[in-house]
Structure 1
Amino acid sequence: MKKPKGSLIIIGGGDKRVEAMPILEEIASRVAPTKQPLMVVTVATYSPDGAADEYIQVFKDLGLQHVELLDIRTREEAYDQEYVHRCKGVGGVFFIGGDQLRITSQMGDSPVYRCLQDHYLDGTLIAGTSAGAAAMPETMIIAGPGDESNRVAALSMAPGLGLIRDVVIDSHFAERGRMGRLLGAVAQNPRNLGLGIDESTAILVERSERFRVLGDGAVYVVDGTEISYSSLSEDRAGGVVSIFNTKVHVLGKDDCFDLKARQPVIPQEQTE
């Protein structure tokens, strides 16, 4: 994939709370100048009707005149030219939550997805919450216990949408105690930075190079580049995964992180 000109807003869930309204306002403020519709994509959820109506109303209340629904429920529909045509000329895309495996299995490499991806490459904003966030990287977490230590063979991962490279994302992070499984995901391939995003919190990714934290929660960055040992490759399924020499950064509101340098940006350097 060529270098994207678009931005990503990746939300850790909890976006229907009052605390998350500034994140949705950020989405609306970026879509409004395009004078094109925001496309709300509900493929992740098994109950799209109520969820879609709620989001559409919220974005209209935030001043967007044109908010449209893309309700794809089968892979066949992702190949339907009517749906492909509706994806053309959008000002932004918003993936709601549900099951990230539904997003990739129903839309992955389909004409609808390629149309949305082309928009992103050309400068369009793509946002996603919860499952819509988890599905954005090349590799995504699809299952694994939270709120406990990660164990060998307990984590399931799969190919994601590939909108952002060299990261793996977990949502509802502090609320569901997912540090153990994010560490396990990074240990599977330390090339990937682990990004754990709290609820009512998001990262704004610009051109896949740098992100800024939105919202009042935290974003945890797990860097496994210097891992000296992990027990993942040992034959002891069910045992706790040992991981040595892992680096963790914690970022708050307006903090920035350089994805290329794999380093947080010191606050005084952010304005230089």
Structure 2
Amino acid sequence: MSDTDKQQQYGHLVIIGGHEDRKREMEILTRFVELSGGADANIVVLTAASTIPDDMWSIYDEAFGNLGVTRRSHLELTSRQDANSEEFVRQIDEATGIFMTGGDQKRLLALIGGSALDAAMHVALKTRGATIGGTSAGASAMSGHMLAQGRAETLPEKGSVSLGAGLGFLHRVVIDQHFSERQRLSRLLTVVAQNPYLQGIGIDEDTALVVAPGRGIEVLGAGAVTIVDGRTMITNVADIKDRDTPELIDVRLHLLPAGSSYQLPSVSHEAGKGLPPPLLDFLENVTKRNPIQ
């Protein structure tokens, strides 16, 4: 291990499909608190995606309080000036867990994308071992390519979905949430058809994909994580008109229900046994330790 590796500790991502349990067992939020330091956690809740930030904060203030977190605070941003303020950056610098609530991911990125607070979140994850959590819109914003808007129709439809720049904690993926509940497979297929460079990740409600960069993944909650891989597909999407349905051949789909857990072969000799190459490739990509931007 190099001296740099010894000085730096890469944290976790907890990517939630929305409507996670905040009242009963709270499996997902409990895991987020554990990864953030347990009883010693210092959790900051970022409500920038929401137009009702006080209501959203009240929900998570109660939930984290019930889980025994005494150091919890609300980071309420109303402008990009807030996102570049020394005080708000200081709060991120001291946090061991940063949680982004639901709302509108475009609003979230408009307020914090490219700001000093954005940069501080990357440093917190990649050098201090902080945990970054996001639910619904906060989940979609995690990747470098963000699903900005689009319909969820019965069939894939060229031109019906648009992407924007996300926060970039993960790369070469795009994340959709409320996945099974809102029947969004066709939406994710549309993204992958038009952007085969990207792998699609669909996360059900009350379900989380936990990413340990450099180590592996686990799926928590009540549903499943769907992975759509179109890198080997054959498609006519470049030749059809907007709003037409493309032909998609050899699109790969992986379904990881809650309880699924995989580690990279490099973690231990036993970890990679039985991993199909396409899933290993996804695992290597999603757990890649990206440098600070």
Is the pair's TM-score, using the shorter chain for normalization, greater than 0.5?
yes
Aligned identity (percent) is: 33
Q: 1:187 aligns to what?
A: 193
Matched, 1:224 2:223: no
- The verdict on how the C-alpha distance between 1:264 and 1:23 changes in structure 2, with shifts beyond 3 A counting, is farther
Moved more, 91-100 or 16-25: 16-25
Matched, 1:120 2:125: yes
Matched, 1:106 2:111: yes
Q: 1:92 aligns to what?
A: 97
Distance across 2 between alignment mates of 1:134 and 1:152: 21
Q: 2:60 aligns to what?
A: 55
Please tell me whether the aligned partners of residues 230 and 244 of structure 1 are also in contact (alpha carbons under 8 angstroms).
Answer: no
Matched, 1:133 2:139: yes
Q: 2:154 aligns to what?
A: 148
**TM superposition shift of 1:139:** 0.2
State the AA in 2 paired with 1:249: H
Distance across 2 between alignment mates of 1:37 and 1:214: 22
Moved more, 172-181 or 249-258: 249-258
Distance across 2 between alignment mates of 1:225 and 1:31: 35
- The verdict on how the C-alpha distance between 1:32 and 1:22 changes in structure 2, with shifts beyond 3 A counting, is same
Distance across 1 between alignment mates of 2:15 and 2:214: 12
Please tell me whether the aligned partners of residues 33 and 41 of structure 2 are also in contact (alpha carbons under 8 angstroms).
Answer: no
Deviations 1:222-262 (A, max 9, x none): 1112112241x225111113221101011111213578964
Matched, 1:199 2:205: yes
- The verdict on how the C-alpha distance between 1:120 and 1:155 changes in structure 2, with shifts beyond 3 A counting, is same
State the AA in 2 paired with 1:21: M
State the AA in 1 paired with 2:68: G
Matched, 1:75 2:80: yes
Please tell me whether the aligned partners of residues 28 and 63 of structure 1 are also in contact (alpha carbons under 8 angstroms).
Answer: no
- The verdict on how the C-alpha distance between 1:75 and 1:205 changes in structure 2, with shifts beyond 3 A counting, is same
Q: 2:17 aligns to what?
A: 12
Matched, 1:244 2:249: yes
**TM superposition shift of 1:147:** 4.2
Find the residue that maps to 2:73 and give its secondary structure. strand
Distance across 2 between alignment mates of 1:34 and 1:159: 35
Figure out how many residues of one structure are paired with residues of the other and give that number: 263
- The verdict on how the C-alpha distance between 1:93 and 1:180 changes in structure 2, with shifts beyond 3 A counting, is same
State the AA in 2 paired with 1:176: R
Find the residue that maps to 1:102 and give its secondary structure. helix
**TM superposition shift of 1:18:** 5.0
Please tell me whether the aligned partners of residues 20 and 200 of structure 1 are also in contact (alpha carbons under 8 angstroms).
Answer: no
- The verdict on how the C-alpha distance between 1:17 and 1:93 changes in structure 2, with shifts beyond 3 A counting, is closer
Please tell me whether the aligned partners of residues 21 and 28 of structure 2 are also in contact (alpha carbons under 8 angstroms).
Answer: no
Q: 1:269 aligns to what?
A: none
Moved more, 55-64 or 11-20: 11-20
- The verdict on how the C-alpha distance between 1:29 and 1:258 changes in structure 2, with shifts beyond 3 A counting, is closer
Please tell me whether the aligned partners of residues 148 and 164 of structure 2 are also in contact (alpha carbons under 8 angstroms).
Answer: yes
Distance across 2 between alignment mates of 1:230 and 1:19: 48
RMSD: 2.3
Please tell me whether the aligned partners of residues 20 and 215 of structure 1 are also in contact (alpha carbons under 8 angstroms).
Answer: no
Distance across 2 between alignment mates of 1:91 and 1:234: 49
Deviations 1:147-186 (A, max 9, x none): 4212111101111100011111100000000000101111
Find the residue that maps to 1:115 and give its secondary structure. helix
Q: 1:177 aligns to what?
A: 183
Distance across 1 between alignment mates of 2:264 and 2:17: 18
Match 2:261 to one of 256, 266, 272: 256
Please tell me whether the aligned partners of residues 256 and 264 of structure 1 are also in contact (alpha carbons under 8 angstroms).
Answer: no
Gaps of 5+ in 2: 266-276, 282-293
**TM superposition shift of 1:209:** 5.4
**TM superposition shift of 1:82:** 1.8
**TM superposition shift of 1:135:** 0.5
Distance across 2 between alignment mates of 1:156 and 1:68: 34
Matched, 1:27 2:45: no
**TM superposition shift of 1:35:** 2.4
